[in-house]
Copies of this chain bind each other. A is one copy, B any other.
Amino acid sequence: MTAWLSLAAVTAPSPDSGAHLVLALAAILTAAKLGGHLAERLGQPAVLGELLGGVLLGNLDLAGIAWFRDLPNDPALAGLAGLGAVVLLFEVGLASTIEEMRQVGWRSLIVAVLGVATPWVLGYLVGRVMLPNHSVYAHLFLGATLTATSVGITARVLRDLGRSQSAEARIILGAAVIDDVLGLVILAVVGSLITAANAHTEASLASVGLVLGKALAFLFGSLWLGSRLSPQLFGLTARLRGGSLLLVTALIFCFLLAAVAASIGLAPIVGAFAAGLVLERVHYRDFSVRGERPLEELVQPVSGFLVPIFFVVMGLKVELAGLFNGDQLALTGLLVLAAIAGKQACALGGLGAQLDRLSIGIGMIPRGEVGLIFANMGLALTINGERIVDPALYSTVVIMVLVTTVVTPPALQWSLGRSGGRSGRGAEGQ
């Protein structure tokens, strides 16, 4: 791969020459932007178009063009896509503060727990019925892909409908954030069960408890310690000379917490998310005083470049050819039903006389980045040589994500319209 920029690679094109990577990026970013545009034209979130753009490119092998199908195997591109997921979760974390998380409080927690447990159980049951030859771990993993609501997609839909400031919106967004955390904890637990099974050691209740404890200790520990260290770190780097110091210090902080999370058995994205939650504007006021732009604005171009790569690469891995047989279609249909029905349990948590419970249940439907990240990890996990998520199952999960994303905007528009102005329209519009 030092052949990256080599001339020799041009006369004898090889899959890992620099020409290959820049061409792949040009194609992927074009697909992302055209797909995103079409999706938004149709009243859908851009992420849907990015995924579908990837699905389209990846399945051009049906038309004889196999080049795109192999792209996800390119290590440089896989690395960029992985960084895209890390930067995305960092950005999602940046958008909320620990204080906000604390304020949404018990109500969101109840909604979140109901909305995580129910789809997990339903997804597990769908796996058990439809995939009897897969291991129990595959069933648990399939259920886990249904747990996390996509904060990004939900927030986007609520904003586009001008309802970001309603009570329902605050509960939904709070629950979606807690969702992510619970989903990541579930992932850590299921992952440790699989590791234990691979090592032929019995996964005792104690070992599950240990993972759960480590995950919670990391989250609370990194939030507690991080919010104390972060002001020091930025105070120190504000005294350094050089360019891009605010952005690069923030990225170092994000990558370090991602590495710590990984080193104790959690996914790197958990650390990235925690880093984003910890960082608050007041920590880097020394930079703001100098007139530097806020961190969100500096991260935005980096994520604008990397995040679409992640979604298009996720789409590239979907194999449509395998989907069109009875069993696979039935599995996909049941999984979508489990995903939608499972989140309606959230409505039960929407206590309080004035709340539009139906809208809360519908608002929790969209699955997104976290479900995709889970499915992507499952592709790499094996148990006794059997893949936890095989390519067909991966494609099913992506279709589930696509369908839940497509149905939410019109459904939410209808249900919020039905409840009328019950909980004051927000001012944002557009």
Contact = CB atoms under 8 A, between A and B. Distances in A.
A302 to B, nearest CB: 5
Contacts of A40: 241-242
A73 interface: yes
Contacts of A76: 75-76, 78-80, 82
Contacts of A17: 262
A192 B8 CA distance: 9
Interface stretch (A172-180, A244-252, A318-326): A244-252
Contacts of A358: none
Nearest to A12: B195
A379 interface: yes
Contacts of A191: 7-8
A4 interface: yes
Chain B CB count within 10 A is highest, among A9, A244, A302, for A244
Interface stretch (A28-36, A330-338, A342-350): A28-36
Interface size class of A (residues with CB under 8 A): 35 or more
A291 to B, nearest CB: 13
A195 B11 contact: yes
Contacts of A242: 33, 36-37, 40, 46
A1 B79 contact: yes
Given A21-B83, A262-B22, A268-B19, A252 B4 contact: no
Interface in A59-113: 72-83, 85-86
Chain B CB count within 10 A is highest, among A16, A22, A265, A382, for A22
Contact of A305 (B247, B376, B382): B247
Interface in A112-134: none
Given A5-B82, A301-B299, A305-B302, A252 B377 contact: no
Contacts of A34: 240
Interface of A: 1-11, 16-19, 21-23, 25-26, 29-30, 32-34, 36-37, 40-41, 46, 72-83, 85-86, 187-188, 191-192, 194-195, 198, 237, 240-245, 247-249, 251-252, 255-256, 258-259, 262-269, 298-302, 304-305, 308, 373, 376-377, 379-382
